[in-house]
Structure 1
Amino acid sequence: MGKKSLGVIGGMGPMATSVFFEKVIENTVAGADQDHINMIILNHATLPDRTSVILNKEENTFLDAVEEDIKLLERAGVANIAIPCNTSHYFYDKMQEMTGVNIIHMIDETCKEIHQSYGDNSKIGILATNGTVSSGIYEKGCNAYNMQLYKPNKVYQEQIMNTIYNVKSDLDIDVNVIENIIKDLIHNEGCSCVILACTELSCLKLSDEVIPYCVDAMDVLVERSIEYSGGVVKKAKS
């Protein structure tokens, strides 16, 4: 498979986009510069807040802005587009209608990978923005693979949102808050795993105690981005 250029619509948020780029580099088998994939990254930080747009039913403000990015990447000749932002995939169908370039479906790819590991009737926890949770995109994704999505209670959801927006604001983070939620979802609520369904959560350094229970949607997007671009994904160390 020859190399194909990857387009990235980033800036949602900028730190998460930086982490995505680093993860692509770190997870590509490469002995020289030329073994890495070609990427065009648009750090469009001024895109409207996705959660606000969804909750306020103002989706056109986002779609009008992101269409310019999609068309720019299309003209640049990319073969695939990655969008390292879970909430933005609420608009996936309408974004895909804007272009003939394949937009990698972060949510479907994540749910597919979880199903391969845990199978039918699995109970799957989720840590995400209010926008992602209320949009139903992961619930729909899990249902498509005969799995059940379990949403955190209101107290947990508020703690998750505070953590996400503290990352965006470069404020101090208490990782223990997120880790305790993960432990509760696994050990007390019976979830098979927990989806880290916000790219800001990918910026956190979680402990070895909870990492085995987490499926990071960004990691899934990273692997598919490498594969679809003709690169080789590093195998996880045993």
Structure 2
Amino acid sequence: MENKRLGIIGGMGPKATSVFMDRIIDHTVAERDQDHIDMLVLNHATLPDRTEVILENDGRKFLTAIEPDFRFMEHAGVSHIAIPCNTSHYFYDDMQGMTTIPIINMVEETLKVIAERYGKGSQAGLLATNGTVRSGVYRKAAERLGIRLYEPDASVQQQVMDIIYDFKKGKKDSSAELESVVRQLLDREGCDCAILACTELSCIPVSEETAAYCADAMDVLVRKSIELSGKRFG
């Protein structure tokens, strides 16, 4: 299969982008440098906060800021674009309309994995930013694929937001809090799995037992990015 160059528009947040790159490298089957993927990474950390622009109905602010990034990717000759930020996918159609380069849709791909793993009619609990939840981007995709989406109540959603923004501030010991929220979705709300639908959540380690019931959107994007770049996931 032809080797293809991957474009990454990151910075949402910067640490999540670096973890995303590490996972691509770690999971690409390779025996030497030349077996890895050529990646063009734009760590655009100053992009407007996605949750804020969605809640304030000011999406044009984000789209205006990110549009030049697609020109950069076109000039660099990438074959696909990965954007490791779930909330930004609220603007997926608008962003895809800015470029002829296919943007990998991590929301759609994640729900496809859940449908394949748990089947139609299964219930998935959504752990995401307020912007992602409010936007309905996961809800709409879940309906198309026959997945029942559970969105946490206000108190649990605030816990999730605290975990996400604590991580952005540099707090590294949020594993217990995240584990607790996931177990609540599984045990109390009857979910078959929990969707880690924020790349900050993907960076927080959880036990193997808990991870087995998590659908990690970042990991799904990693696998798809590797495969579309002509390499094997391992």
Classify the TM-score, shorter chain: over 0.9
For the 8 Å contact 1:7–1:81, the answer to whether it is kept is yes
Q: Offset at 1:153?
A: 1.2
Q: Offset at 1:172?
A: 4.9
Instruction: Identify the residue that residue 15 of structure 1 maps to in structure 2.
Output: 15
Q: Offset at 1:188?
A: 1.7
Instruction: Identify the residue that residue 37 of structure 2 maps to in structure 1.
Output: 37
Q: Any stretches of 5+ residues in structure 2 without a counterpart?
A: none
Aligned residues: 234
* TM-score for both structures, normalised by structure 2: 0.98
C-alpha distance in structure 2 between counterparts of 1:70 and 1:173, whole Å: 35
For the 8 Å contact 1:163–1:173, the answer to whether it is kept is no
Instruction: Identify the residue that residue 57 of structure 2 maps to in structure 1.
Output: 57
Instruction: Identify the residue that residue 210 of structure 1 maps to in structure 2.
Output: 210
Instruction: Identify the residue that residue 81 of structure 1 maps to in structure 2.
Output: 81
For the 8 Å contact 2:70–2:98, the answer to whether it is kept is yes
C-alpha distance in structure 2 between counterparts of 1:79 and 1:172, whole Å: 35
C-alpha distance in structure 1 between counterparts of 2:110 and 2:214, whole Å: 12
Instruction: Identify the residue that residue 175 of structure 2 maps to in structure 1.
Output: 175
For the 8 Å contact 1:110–1:217, the answer to whether it is kept is yes
For the 8 Å contact 1:51–1:132, the answer to whether it is kept is yes
The residue type paired with residue 27 of structure 1 is: H
C-alpha distance in structure 2 between counterparts of 1:150 and 1:105, whole Å: 21
For the 8 Å contact 2:172–2:204, the answer to whether it is kept is no
Q: Deviations over 1:60-91 (max 9, x none)?
A: 11001110101110111000000000000000
For the 8 Å contact 1:85–1:199, the answer to whether it is kept is yes
Instruction: Identify the residue that residue 97 of structure 1 maps to in structure 2.
Output: 97
Instruction: Identify the residue that residue 124 of structure 1 maps to in structure 2.
Output: 124
Instruction: Identify the residue that residue 107 of structure 1 maps to in structure 2.
Output: 107
Q: Offset at 1:104?
A: 0.3
C-alpha distance in structure 2 between counterparts of 1:222 and 1:209, whole Å: 21
Percent identity between matched residues is 54
Q: Offset at 1:202?
A: 1.1
C-alpha distance in structure 2 between counterparts of 1:173 and 1:150, whole Å: 26
Q: Offset at 1:173?
A: 3.4
1:196-235 matched pairs, under 5 angstroms = 196-234=196-234
1:181-200 matched pairs, under 5 angstroms = 181-200=181-200
C-alpha distance in structure 2 between counterparts of 1:153 and 1:173, whole Å: 24
The residue type paired with residue 96 of structure 2 is: Q
Equivalent residue of 1:103, what SS? coil
Q: Deviations over 1:98-151 (max 9, x none)?
A: 110000000000001110011111111011000000000000111110111001
C-alpha distance in structure 2 between counterparts of 1:174 and 1:25, whole Å: 25
Equivalent residue of 1:161, what SS? helix
The residue type paired with residue 128 of structure 1 is: A
Q: Aligned pair 1:6/2:6, yes or no?
A: yes
Q: Could you say what the CA RMSD is over the residues aligned between the two structures, in angstroms?
A: 0.8
Q: Any stretches of 5+ residues in structure 1 without a counterpart?
A: none
C-alpha distance in structure 1 between counterparts of 2:173 and 2:197, whole Å: 18
C-alpha distance in structure 1 between counterparts of 2:220 and 2:133, whole Å: 19
C-alpha distance in structure 1 between counterparts of 2:208 and 2:93, whole Å: 36
For the 8 Å contact 2:174–2:204, the answer to whether it is kept is no
Instruction: Identify the residue that residue 133 of structure 1 maps to in structure 2.
Output: 133
